[in-house]
Every structure is written in structure tokens, then in C-alpha cells.
Structure 1
Amino acid sequence: MVHYYSADYVMPVTSSPIKNGVIAMDENGTVLGIYDNDSVPKNVEIERFKGVLIPGFINAHCHLELSHLLGKISQKKGLVKFITEVMSNRSADDDVIQKAMDLADKAMYANGIQAVGDHVNSAVSAKIKEDSKIVYHTFVEILGLREEEAAQKIDEAREIEFSFDSGHASITLHAPYSCSKVLFKAFKKSVSEDNIISIHNQESEEENKLFRYKTGEFLEFYEKIGFSADEFKAQARNSIQTYMSYLPTGNKVILVHNTYTSLKDLDFIRRMGRDVVMCICPKANLYIEDALPKVSIFEQNGCEIAIGTDSLASNDTLSVLDELKVLHKHFPELDFNQTLKWATINGAKALTLEESLGSLEVGKTPGLLLVKNMNHFKVTDKIEIERIA
């Protein structure tokens, strides 16, 4: 059966908004047609809404397995303190973890999220993802500061990767401050070009201090966990300018957070000629560091931008709409037509899901959301999302 939906505007994302547009979808959510008001097939029933119809959101960065930490981690204490508290509070009964993940998964779907790039350290989320209405790409994180453990850490990540959908899973390095140079080099040799990399980048100025000067809170953190940083050498440059050359050259790379990424860093990334997506998680950045990325310089430099929610350890919701509200509040010059791309098609491209998700195009199954209470395409606290399909 074909369903026809119309609203004040239809925003396909990859083409211009259509006033009083109509979307035709089958019962499986596949887009069969997109029409302006004058080209709709005759004698069909159309369900009409007040608002704006858009495709489902793409959450490019999340940690589903941390959902049980909602409200348990201190806010605005900085990244090193955040990591320390997560490590201390992470353990919980299996049923507690499973219940929290199940609730988070269902909440994301209700919040209009169609796909998620999810970071894991175990296989605990595999069953939730298998049964979910959401498409997940799972990134199995590799962490290893001790050089002699590099090969073992990669093998362990491969074992976890087997628990997830082979078409939507890859291994990835966690962050430059949690992986040795030897591990970076071993990783580079061990992955094929279709292995998407999603790495936490410059979430804190402490990361840049570590790589530039070998100073700051990470040295104290290493001491607490019993790791000697004696062999670590300051590079007199920010972290991204140090580690990017160690990443595989042909792989898509999602740089996550980028709270302290500078104009010089962006110039360095551009000169490296890599396929890079800048994923921003505004609410988590405020929760942890009480700071936001320099979104304007990302835009001005033509960066591909996607949006993530991070985890419930660093957020009170897993809602891309809430992330958009924060972005538009702090950067009122932003245009919804542009940020909608960040929240949909750019995230789909980052996760290599653009053939089926991220925009309203014939043949895709992108989901369909109604944006309510929106005037003149302005993002305010009043707007809400309702899932239509």
C-alpha cells in the first residue's frame, strides 16, 4: 500500500525545499515519489500535516553501552576528570546495563534517529542492535599505551567486531592520548580501505598540551593508572598534526568532538588530503568541557560536518534535535538548511549509508519526520519532532 504525506514544506535535503510538497512511501518506508502540489497523482488520499517533513536523523557518534551512567558523572570538570569518573563508575550488573541500553535505543528511535555510529569496548550491545529499528555502524575501540601490547589489542578488537553485523562494523583507535605510536602504526597495517575510522579528536585542550609541551593533566592521569610516559616526546604541535600521518591514507576518517581544533589544524588536515568528516557533539562538549567547537571556521573551510550525541554519561538526552537547538542557540547565524544536512546526509555519508539513508530520494528508506512549531525555518526551543514513518 502506498501512503502519501504532505506538509507546509518538504525538505529532501539533497534538493530544494518544496512548498506543500508530497512524499509517497510504501509500507516498508521506501520513498516511491516526491511531488510538488501540481504533480501529485490524481485521486490519491493525502495525509496532510502542519510543519516541515524531513528525513530521519543520523547520530554519527554515540556510546550506547554507557547508557547506565546517566546522571552519574560530574559536569564541567574537564575531560581527564570525566574519563577517570567513567572508569570508576562503568561497572554494573548486566541487567542494569541491558535495560539502560534498551531504553536508550528506543528513545533514539522515538527522537527521529534512523542510524547511529556507536563506539564499543565489548560485545554487550550486540543483541540490542540486532533487534533495533535503528541501523547501527559499530566502531570497536582500541586502546593501548604500552607498545608491547599493540598486536594483542588489535586482535582483541577483531574478536569483538565478530559479534556485530559484518557490513556495519569496523575497528578504530580510541584517541591519540590513549594509543601508542606503535599501536597507530600497527593499526595502519592491519585495516583495509573500507574500514571506517572514528577517533576522538581534540576534545580537551589538555590533549594539545600533552602533544605540544608534554605538560598537563594527562601526565597525572598516566601516573594514576601506572603508565610511565617517560618515552613520550613533545612534538611542539597540536595532537592532530602529530598523529594523522600515522592513520591509513585511503580510509574515511571521522574526527569526533574537535572542541579545540584550530584554523591551523584545519589547514593541516586539508593539506593531508584525507577523506575527513568533522563530527561535533555540542551538548557533550558543554557537559564535559563547558566549551564548543569553532563551528564557524569549520564552515568557512568547507569541512564536512556531522552531528553526534555522545553518551548518556555526558548528556541527558540522545537527541539530534536537541543538539541542533544548542548549536543554533550558540551560533544564531547558522542556517537550518545547512545544519539539517549535518544532521542527515552528512552523517549518512560518514557511515557509508547514503545509498539508503540521509535524504528524501526515490528508492531510499530514510524515515520521515515532522518538524512542528517551526517558523521561517528557525530552530528554537519550541520546535518538536514527530516520527511519521
Structure 2
Amino acid sequence: MVNYYSADFILPATSEPLKNGTVAVGPDGAILGLYPEDSLSLQDVNVTKLEGIIVPGFINSHCHLELSYLYNKIPQKEGLLSFIKNIISLRKSLKNTEEVMREADRQMWENGIVAVADVSNNIDSKKIKENSSIYYYTFIELLSFEPDKAKDVFREGSELLEQFSPLHASIVPHAPYSASKELFRFIGKFCGETGSPVTIHNQESEDENKLYRYKSGEFLNFYKELGINIDFFKPQARNSIQSIIPLIPVQQKTMLVHNTYTSLKDIYFILRSNRSVTWCFCPNANLYIEDRLPKVEMFQYHDFNITVGTDSLASNTSLCMLSELKTLHLNFPGLLLTETINWATINGAKFLGIDKEYGSIEKGKRPGLNLITHTEGLKISAESKVQKLV
């Protein structure tokens, strides 16, 4: 059976908005056609008329499904280092379960998320992903700031990658403050050979920049508390992202996540590097941890591929992409929904290499369909909600 849905607007993500348009969907979820208002093709067809905006299924470009058990366990707005210390402590005292991950997966599906770029440190989430309606790409995250441990950590990551087979997965560094140059090189060589995308937590804290620029700040005490000797590390006289990007192969697709303390100089450095860089924003997590947002306007004027993620339930109150868009529009009123919907759909699909199936409402694709309600024209509001149609 073919279903026809009409709304105040349809945002296909790869073409212009369609006012009072109609989308036809086959029984397998495939898009059969897009029709303008009063199309002759719709005569004698039963069309479901809806109030709001129809958009493609959301692509969550950054999540940690395995941290779902830490929901409401970590205090808000205490800064990144306090957040990390809480994660380390709670992982020792609390047990993860499939039940909480399954509930988080269900929550994302009901909130219209059809694909997730998920970060994992262990195999716990594999079963959930295998049985989910959501497409998952797993980034196996490696951590070791000590150069002499890089080889062993990379080997362990390679073994975990094999365990995730046949699911889509690759190996990535956690962040500049937690991955040595040696580990970056191992990962860069591997991903360069396999063509796998790379994702990196980037500049969530100003202390990360202080570490790289001056070898100062709170990370020095953090390493000392963990018993890590960083005498080997020399100040780089530049911010973290400028120090680590040269370690990544030029042709490598790389997504930098958070970017809360990224500067205009950092952006120009990336532009000069001629690398394929995607910038991912997780606004609700940024507010939860650092009570600060990236300077979004700096990024949107340079024709970057920008995506949006929810981060985890350890650093968010829900896994809802519409909630992330609300936060962006509230804090940056100059943003257009026609732009940010692309961030939440087709741009993430392109980064993951799944844009032939997901990310936009085009004939032949199976992107999923969401209805955003309580809208005014092409604007969302604090009252806007998402309803999964397909």
C-alpha cells in the first residue's frame, strides 16, 4: 500500500522546500515521489494532510550508547575534567546493562533517528545494534596519552574491531588530550588504508588548548592523579586541533566533535590544510558539561560540512535531535531551519557514506520521515515536537 503525506512544508534536504507538498511512500518505506500542491498526479488519491513540517529521518552524528546507564548520574555544568573524573569513578562502581541501552535505542528510534554514529570502548552495545531498526556505525575509541603504550592499545582496538564484525565499524582516537602522537599515527595509517572515517572529540575545554599551547592548566593535575608521567610532552605553542590534524592523512574523512573552544585561527588552519573535515555540534551536551556553546556562526560561513549529535545520556537529558535543533535556534536566532535540517540529516549521512539510502527525501531512498509539529512557517518553537511517520 502506498501512503501519501502532505504538510505545510516538506524539507527534502537536497532540494528547495515544498509548500503544501505531498510525499508518496511505498510499503517498504521507499520514497516513490514528491508532488507540489494541487498536482494532477494526486487526483483520486487519499492524502493524509498534516500540520507542520515533514523532514527526513534524523542522523545522530555523535552518541555513546554504552554510557546510557549514567543517565542523571553526573552533576551538570561542572566542566569537562570533573565530568571525565565522574565517568571514570562511576564505571568502576556501576554496571552497564542491555536493558538501559535498549531503552536508549528505542528512545532514539521514536524520536525519529534512523542512523547513529556511535562511539564505543567495549563490546557491550553490539547485541543492541544488531537487533535495532537504527543503522549504526561504531567508532571504536582508543585512549592512551603515553607513547610507549600506543602499540598495545592499537592492537587491543583492532581485536575489538574484529569482535564488532560484521557491523560497520572503525578505530578512532578519543581526543587530543587522551591520544598520543604515536597512537594518532597508528590510527591514521590504518584508516588511511581502509578508507574508514575518523571522529575525534575536539576542544571541549579551554584546558585542552592550554595543555597544547603552554603545557599548563588542569590537565597536568589530572594526569598526576592518574599516575601518568607526561615529561615527554612538550608545549606546541598552538591549539590542540592545529597540533593533531597534521597527524591525520590528507585524504581522510574526519569529524571533529563539540568544538566548544575552537577559534577562528583554528578554522583558518583547517581550511589551509585542505582536509575533508566535518564539524559536529552537540549543543545540549556542551551546556550540560561546560555551560557554553561553540561559536556556531564562525563555522557556517565557510561552507563546511556541519552535523549534529546528541552525545550520551551521561551528558544529556534525552536523545532527541529536535531538542538539539531547538537549542541551536534559541541561541543562534539567525540560523535557518532549511540549513540546520541539513546538519541533522543529509550531512551526517554523507559523512557516514550512507547518503544513497538515508538523509534526504528523494525518489528511491528509504530515509524515514518525521513530522515536526507546532511550527510557524519554516520556524520551530520551544513547543515543537517530532512525530515519526515512517
Is TM more than 0.5 here?
A: yes
- Pairing of 1:343-382 with structure 2 (within 5 A): 343-382=344-383
- Pairing of 1:128-277 with structure 2 (within 5 A): 128-166=128-166, 168-191=168-191, 192-277=193-278
Say whether the 8 Å CA contact 1:356–1:366 is kept in structure 2: yes
How far the C-alpha of 1:144 sits from its partner, in A, is: 1.1
Cα RMSD after superposing both structures: 1.3
Mapped to 1, the partners of 2:54 and 2:147 lie a distance apart of 51
Mapped to 2, the partners of 1:80 and 1:229 lie a distance apart of 17
Q: Which residue of 1 aligns with 2:14?
A: 14
Q: Which residue of 2 aligns with 1:313?
A: 314
Output the amino acid matched with 2:108: M
Mapped to 2, the partners of 1:31 and 1:101 lie a distance apart of 30
Mapped to 1, the partners of 2:232 and 2:155 lie a distance apart of 25
Mapped to 2, the partners of 1:118 and 1:135 lie a distance apart of 10
How far the C-alpha of 1:166 sits from its partner, in A, is: 4.0
Aligned length: 388
Q: Percent identity?
A: 48
Which moved further from structure 2: 177-186 or 101-110?
177-186
Mapped to 2, the partners of 1:221 and 1:40 lie a distance apart of 65
Say whether the 8 Å CA contact 1:22–1:40 is kept in structure 2: no
How far the C-alpha of 1:71 sits from its partner, in A, is: 0.8
Q: Which residue of 1 aligns with 2:25?
A: 25
1:279 partner SS: strand
Q: Deviations over 1:279-315 (max 9, x none)?
A: 0000000111111001000012222110001111110
Mapped to 1, the partners of 2:148 and 2:230 lie a distance apart of 14
Say whether the 8 Å CA contact 2:374–2:380 is kept in structure 1: no
How far the C-alpha of 1:246 sits from its partner, in A, is: 0.5
Output the amino acid matched with 1:155: R
Say whether the 8 Å CA contact 1:119–1:138 is kept in structure 2: yes
How far the C-alpha of 1:93 sits from its partner, in A, is: 6.3
Q: Deviations over 1:256-294 (max 9, x none)?
A: 000000110000001111111000000000111111001
Say whether the 8 Å CA contact 1:66–1:90 is kept in structure 2: no
Answer yes or no: is 1:2 the counterpart of 2:12. no
1:159 partner SS: helix
Which moved further from structure 2: 193-202 or 61-70?
193-202
How far the C-alpha of 1:165 sits from its partner, in A, is: 4.9
Which moved further from structure 2: 297-306 or 209-218?
297-306
Mapped to 2, the partners of 1:166 and 1:250 lie a distance apart of 25
Output the amino acid matched with 1:131: N
Output the amino acid matched with 1:81: S
Q: Which residue of 2 aligns with 1:117?
A: 117
Say whether the 8 Å CA contact 2:215–2:235 is kept in structure 1: yes
Say whether the 8 Å CA contact 2:171–2:187 is kept in structure 1: no
Which moved further from structure 2: 176-185 or 274-283?
176-185
Which moved further from structure 2: 371-380 or 311-320?
371-380
Say whether the 8 Å CA contact 1:11–1:17 is kept in structure 2: yes
User: Is the alpha carbon distance of 1:167 and 1:100 closer, same or farther for their aligned partners in structure 2, counting shifts above 3 Å?
Assistant: closer
Mapped to 1, the partners of 2:117 and 2:92 lie a distance apart of 23
Mapped to 2, the partners of 1:297 and 1:151 lie a distance apart of 37
Q: Deviations over 1:45-86 (max 9, x none)?
A: 212211111111111000000000011112111111110100
How far the C-alpha of 1:42 sits from its partner, in A, is: 3.3
2:48 partner SS: strand
Output the amino acid matched with 2:326: K
Mapped to 2, the partners of 1:231 and 1:19 lie a distance apart of 60
User: Is the alpha carbon distance of 1:225 and 1:299 closer, same or farther for their aligned partners in structure 2, counting shifts above 3 Å?
Assistant: same
Mapped to 1, the partners of 2:66 and 2:30 lie a distance apart of 30
Q: TM-score, normalised by structure 2?
A: 0.97
Mapped to 2, the partners of 1:132 and 1:34 lie a distance apart of 28
Q: Which residue of 1 aligns with 2:296?
A: 295
Say whether the 8 Å CA contact 2:74–2:314 is kept in structure 1: yes
How far the C-alpha of 1:92 sits from its partner, in A, is: 6.0
Q: Deviations over 1:327-373 (max 9, x none)?
A: 11111111111111111111111211111111100111100111111
User: Is the alpha carbon distance of 1:16 and 1:39 closer, same or farther for their aligned partners in structure 2, counting shifts above 3 Å?
Assistant: farther
Q: Which residue of 2 aligns with 1:55?
A: 56
How far the C-alpha of 1:231 sits from its partner, in A, is: 1.1
Answer yes or no: is 1:336 the counterpart of 2:337. yes
Mapped to 2, the partners of 1:132 and 1:357 lie a distance apart of 16
- Pairing of 1:59-74 with structure 2 (within 5 A): 59-74=60-75
Say whether the 8 Å CA contact 2:213–2:239 is kept in structure 1: yes
Say whether the 8 Å CA contact 1:193–1:250 is kept in structure 2: no
Mapped to 2, the partners of 1:18 and 1:243 lie a distance apart of 43
Mapped to 2, the partners of 1:276 and 1:40 lie a distance apart of 42
Q: Deviations over 1:112-141 (max 9, x none)?
A: 111110000001000000111111110000
Q: TM-score, normalised by structure 1?
A: 0.97
Mapped to 2, the partners of 1:329 and 1:230 lie a distance apart of 44
Output the amino acid matched with 1:182: E
Say whether the 8 Å CA contact 1:259–1:293 is kept in structure 2: yes
Answer yes or no: is 1:34 the counterpart of 2:34. yes
Mapped to 2, the partners of 1:93 and 1:308 lie a distance apart of 25
Say whether the 8 Å CA contact 1:193–1:251 is kept in structure 2: no
1:286 partner SS: helix
